[in-house]
Structure 1
Amino acid sequence: MGVSHSHLTKVEVQQLLGVNAFGMWRLARKYDKFPKPTEKANNPFNRNEAQEVWDGTQVYSWAAGTEEFARRGALLLRPLPNHPASGRWLGYKDTLRGPALDWQTDLGVIRLVHCGDSRAATDVASAIAGNGNNDGVVTVCALYGDMGFRGPALVAADTTHPGIEYEASWGDVAALVGQELPWWPDLLRLPSVIREWKPEAQAAVVEVPANDNEKILRRVAANDVFDVSSRAAARDMANSIRNDRIDHTNHEIEIFCKDGFGESPNQVVAGAVPDTSHHPLPCDRDRQALQADWLRLALHTHPDAVAALEVAVGRDPALLPFGAVTEIPVQPGTVSGRWTQRLTMCDPTAAHAVVAQDSKAEAFFVDPLTDMPVLRTPGDGGTQVWRFYAPLCLPAGGAELASVVLHHTVWVTTSDGHVHPAPCTPTEHLWWGDGWGDRASEAAAVVDQLLDNLGTTVNLHQHYNAPRA
C-alpha cells in the first residue's frame, strides 16, 4: 500500500521537464523548492563514479504546482478546470490488478482500480501504455489503503509516465466525474460485485466470503469423525471469525464513507454492504467447556484436527492447555537431560504436528506429568533439539519449589525430586540477561509466583512489576 517511489537520473529529469543541461542547472537556482538529489547510485558505465538521482514523485509533483512546468507535471496535481463538465461512466474494466471503473472527464479517461496493493496504479498504467492505450486512459488511480481529507486516499500513475506514482485526491477525481464515486470495503471488493454496479444504484447487499480459517473450522464442524462437542467448539470459533469479519466491514464503511468535514461532504458512497440478516452468529459457549473440547481436538490424529488447531493457536491460544513453544538442544547429563529421561514415546497427535511447525520430527513424546507434547528434531546443522510447549502450570501435589536452573530456558526443580520446564503463558517467553531489549522480568515473575504456589497458573500481564531480589 502507499506510493511506490522511483528514481530519475539527470537525463530523465531533463526529459520529463523538457529542458537541456543548462536549463537543469538553472532550475535549482531559480526555484528554491526544486527537489534536490536524494541519493547516489552507481553509474552503470563507470563503477567508480556515482551519479545523482532524484525522487520521481517529488519532481513530478513539484512540476504540477509550478506554472512554468505544470503541463509536464502530475495530471491530477495540476490546477483543475474551473467548471469541469460532468463526467460519464464508461463501465467496468478487468485489469491485471483487479476490478476497475472508467470515467470520461474533461482531462480524458480516468481508470479507478479498486485495489490497495503496492504498485497497483503503476502496473495498470504500464500495461495500458504498453498495449497502445486504445481506451484513451490518461491516468490510473488505485486505493492508498488509508483515509484522506475528502474521501479514501488515492495513488495515481499517469499513462505518459506510468513508473511515477503520486498521491491524488478523491475529491478532485469526484469533481471531474461530477458525482459521488463508489467505494467497496476490502472483503466485498469482488469483481462479480463491482461488475454489477451502476451510477445511482443502491448498495448491493453481499455475503461476506469465508476466509481460509473459517472454511477449515466449518469443515471440522461437519466432520463426524469428531465428537459432537468438539465439532461445536470448531463451529463456535468459525462463527466468531464470521462475526468479526462482518463487524470489520461495517467499521470500514463507517470510516471510508463518512460525511466528511465542514460544509463539503465527501463524494463517496458504499458500493456494497455486508449481509447482516443472521448477524451475529452464536459464539458464546462456556470457556471451560471450550477448553476441554479443544484439548480433545489437540489429542486427535486426523488431519482436520491439525488444521483446526493451527487456527486456534493463532486466534485464541488461551483456549489450549499449552504455553509458549520452547526449543533446547539435546544435551544428556544436564538439567534438561533429567527431564527428557521421563518422557514417554507416543504416536503423533495434532498438537505434535502444530508444535513441529516446519521442523522435521524424528520422534514424538509426551511428558506424563504435565501432558505436554514433545518432539525431537534434527535441528539446524544436524544438532538434535527438543521442541515442546511449556506447561501452563505444574503438578504440585504438595511439593514446593526447590531451585531454579537457567539452561537455554528456565527449569524448576521441586521438593519431591522432579524437574520441569518452567510454566509460561502462550504469548510470552522466559528470558534473562541481555536479550537485545528483552528483560528478565518474565522469568522473575514466574519464579515469584511459584514460590507462593507451585501449582499456580502463571500470569504475566504485569511481569514488569516482578520483585528485583
Structure 2
Amino acid sequence: MGVSSSYLSRVEVQRLLGVNLFGMWRLVRKYDKFPKPTERPRSPFDRQEPEEVWDGTQVYSWAAETAEFALRGAVLLRPLPEATEQGRWVGYRDTLRGPALDWDTALGVIRIVHCSDSRAATDVASAIAGSGNKDGVVTVCALYGDMGLRGPALVAADTAHPGIEYEASWGDVAALAGQVLPWWPDLLRLPRVIRQWQPGARAAVVEVPANDSEKVLRQAAANDVFDVTSRAAVTDMANDIRNSRIDHTGHEIKIFCKDGYGETPNQVVAGAVPDTSHHPLPCDGDRQSLKTGWHKLALHRHPDAVAALEVAVGRDPDLLPFGAVTEIPVQPGTISDRWTHRLAMCDPTAAHAVLAQDDKAEAFFIDPLTDMPVLRTPGDNGKQVWRFYAPLTLPDSGAELSSVVLHHTMWVTTSNGHVHPAPCTPTEHLWWGDGWGDRASEAATVVDQLLDDLGATVDLHEHWEAPKGLTALFNEKHKQGVELNRATLLHARMTPPRTR
C-alpha cells in the first residue's frame, strides 16, 4: 500500500493553517523547515500552465510538529498528552473498506480499519465526515502492509482533513488505547472473525479460506468424468496451494507480531491463527505421474478441465506438455506456411481453449507430428495470426537438424524434410538481434542441443552458458526469413566471437 499523494493549493494551505496571505509569507521566512512548493503531477496532454502546490502530507505533518500550528496538524503526529486517561475498546464496525475496531481515547475515537488497500484510510474517513460522524471519530488508521519499529505500520487520515494521509505509529495508537492492539494476517482478515474479537480474547483458530484457484481445482478433482490420474494431479496442486497459504499466514504472524526491539515490547497480538490440524496436506507427488495427469486433462473437453488448466498454466507450467505461447502472422509462401500445411483441423480441447484466452478463434488444429495445439485468429488489428504452443521436443526419427530459419520465431528444418517451430520451454522465448545489452542465449542453447540430438528435450535453465559463438551469431541483426544452415551453425558453435 503506502500513503496516497495529495496536493494543496496556496489557498488550501492558508485555510489549513489558519493564516492569510501575509501570514503565509511570514511563516515561509520564519520556519526553515516549512515544505517547499512543487508542481502538481500532470498528464502529458495537459497544456495548462503548471500550478504551484504543496505536498499535503508534508504540510500536515510539519504543522503537527510545529508548536504554533500543532492543533491544526495531523492528529497522531502531535505531541501526545503527558497524562492521558486509559482508552477503551468501543466495538466493531463495518466500513466500505472492510472490518474495523473503534478505540475511545483521550484524543477522541480512533478507528482502525483492518485493510491494507491503497486509500483505505482516506475513503473511510471521507465517508465518516460525509455522514455526520455520529461516532466522534477523529482519525482513521489503515494497515500500511509493512512492519514499523513499534508494530505494524499504519496509514492515517483524520476526519477533519480526510484527503490527506500520513504515517502513524502503532505504538502511539496502542498507548492512547491503553492496551495491546490486535492484528490479523491478510488471509484471516475476515469480518466474521474480527467481529468476534474482544480485549483479552485468545487468538481464534481459523481455517484459511480457499482462493479461487483452489476452488477450481477441488471442483475438477471431484468430477468423475476425469480419470484417476488427472484427478490426482489437480488434487496435488490444490493441496500445494492450501499448504502455501497456511505457511504464508504463519510467516506473516511471525513478522508482524514480533516481541519488539530492545526492552520495549511491541503492543500487538495476533487476533487469529491458521488452523493447522491437517497441515501439511500431501503434495509434491511423482512429477512424471503428475505430468501424465495434466496431459490427459489438456486433451479433455469439459469446462472444468479448461478452468483447471488455466490455473496450472499460471502456477506450474512445467507440468504441462506445452512450451512457450507463440504468435506469428498468416503469410503465404513463408517457412511457417510449409508448417501450417500439415496441420490437421480438429475440435477444440481444453488446451485450445486456454490458448485462445478471450480471443475469437476461426479454427482449431493439431500438429500431427508434435501434438501441439494450434489455432487461427483474426488478431488485434484484423490481420490473421497463428497462435500455438511451441513443442518441448521434436520427433527425431533418426534425422538431424539441417538448418534454422528466423521468421517471427525460430524454425527448424530437418534432414527428412520436415519443418517445426523450434522447441522452447514455457517460461522462455526465442529471439535474435540486438537485445539492448541482453544476449540471444536462449536461441543459441536450443540450437546447441538440437545439433547433437534432434529429439532432445530442451533445457534452458542455464541458457547463459550457451556457446559464445552461437550466441554471437544470433545476436546479429538477421533479416526476417534468413536461413542458417547446419554448417554455419556448427562453425559458429566452435568459433569464439571476435573481440572488438
Within 5 A, what are the aligned runs for 1:391-430? 391-430=391-430
Instruction: Write the letter of the residue equivalent to 1:365.
Output: F
CA distance in 1, matches of 2:425, 2:26: 65
CA distance in 1, matches of 2:24, 2:298: 68
Q: Equivalent residue of 1:380, what SS?
A: coil
Offset of residue 454 of structure 1: 1.3
Correspondence for 2:269: 269
CA distance in 1, matches of 2:122, 2:323: 46
Within 5 A, what are the aligned runs for 1:10-29? 10-29=10-29
Instruction: Write the letter of the residue equivalent to 2:320.
Output: L
Residues 342-374 of structure 1: CA deviation (Å, up to 9, x unaligned): 111111000000111122111110111111000
Instruction: Write the letter of the residue equivalent to 2:266.
Output: N
Q: Equivalent residue of 2:29, what SS?
A: helix
CA distance in 1, matches of 2:27, 2:453: 75
Gaps of 5+ in 2: 470-500
Contact 2:145 2:152 in 1 (8 A): yes
Correspondence for 1:468: 468
> Is 1:85 equivalent to 2:85 in the alignment?
yes
Q: Equivalent residue of 1:382, what SS?
A: coil
Q: Which moved more, 1:432-441 or 1:348-357?
A: 432-441
CA distance in 2, matches of 1:445, 1:232: 34
Residues 20 and 256 (structure 1 numbering): CA distance in 2 closer, same or farther, change over 3 Å? Answer: same
Within 5 A, what are the aligned runs for 1:9-408? 9-40=9-40, 49-408=49-408
Instruction: Write the letter of the residue equivalent to 2:56.
Output: G
Instruction: Write the letter of the residue equivalent to 2:396.
Output: A
Instruction: Write the letter of the residue equivalent to 1:412.
Output: V
Offset of residue 229 of structure 1: 1.8
Q: Equivalent residue of 1:54, what SS?
A: strand
Instruction: Write the letter of the residue equivalent to 2:13.
Output: V
CA distance in 1, matches of 2:41, 2:314: 43
Instruction: Write the letter of the residue equivalent to 1:298.
Output: A
Offset of residue 14 of structure 1: 0.3
Offset of residue 407 of structure 1: 0.2
CA distance in 2, matches of 1:41, 1:439: 37
Give the TM-score taking structure 2 as reference length. Answer: 0.91
Q: Equivalent residue of 2:34, what SS?
A: coil
CA distance in 2, matches of 1:265, 1:452: 64
Gaps of 5+ in 1: none
Q: Which moved more, 1:123-132 or 1:228-237?
A: 228-237
Offset of residue 435 of structure 1: 4.3
Instruction: Write the letter of the residue equivalent to 2:223.
Output: N
Offset of residue 401 of structure 1: 1.0
Q: Equivalent residue of 2:196, what SS?
A: coil
Instruction: Write the letter of the residue equivalent to 1:285.
Output: G
Instruction: Write the letter of the residue equivalent to 2:455.
Output: G
CA distance in 1, matches of 2:443, 2:134: 66
CA distance in 1, matches of 2:325, 2:218: 27
Contact 1:220 1:308 in 2 (8 A): yes
Offset of residue 49 of structure 1: 4.4
Instruction: Write the letter of the residue equivalent to 1:146.
Output: D
Residues 66-86 of structure 1: CA deviation (Å, up to 9, x unaligned): 111111110101111123221
CA distance in 2, matches of 1:41, 1:27: 25
Identity %: 82
Residues 258-297 of structure 1: CA deviation (Å, up to 9, x unaligned): 1111100110000000000000111132110010010000
Offset of residue 459 of structure 1: 1.4
Contact 2:229 2:292 in 1 (8 A): no
Contact 2:7 2:40 in 1 (8 A): no
Offset of residue 38 of structure 1: 1.9
CA distance in 2, matches of 1:112, 1:380: 46
Q: Equivalent residue of 1:279, what SS?
A: coil
Contact 1:75 1:158 in 2 (8 A): yes
Residues 313 and 170 (structure 1 numbering): CA distance in 2 closer, same or farther, change over 3 Å? Answer: same
Residues 438 and 355 (structure 1 numbering): CA distance in 2 closer, same or farther, change over 3 Å? Answer: farther
User: RMSD value over aligned CA atoms?
Assistant: 1.4
Residues 387-442 of structure 1: CA deviation (Å, up to 9, x unaligned): 00001111112111111111000011111111110110110111111345653111
CA distance in 2, matches of 1:355, 1:47: 43
CA distance in 2, matches of 1:378, 1:459: 33
> Is 1:434 equivalent to 2:429 in the alignment?
no
Q: Equivalent residue of 2:155, what SS?
A: strand
Offset of residue 380 of structure 1: 2.0
Q: Which moved more, 1:230-239 or 1:306-315?
A: 230-239
Residues 464 and 335 (structure 1 numbering): CA distance in 2 closer, same or farther, change over 3 Å? Answer: same
CA distance in 2, matches of 1:113, 1:425: 45
Give the TM-score taking structure 1 as reference length. Answer: 0.97
Q: Equivalent residue of 2:154, what SS?
A: strand
CA distance in 1, matches of 2:30, 2:443: 63
Contact 1:431 1:439 in 2 (8 A): no
Count of residue pairs the alignment pairs up: 466
Instruction: Write the letter of the residue equivalent to 1:389.
Output: Y
Contact 1:141 1:156 in 2 (8 A): yes
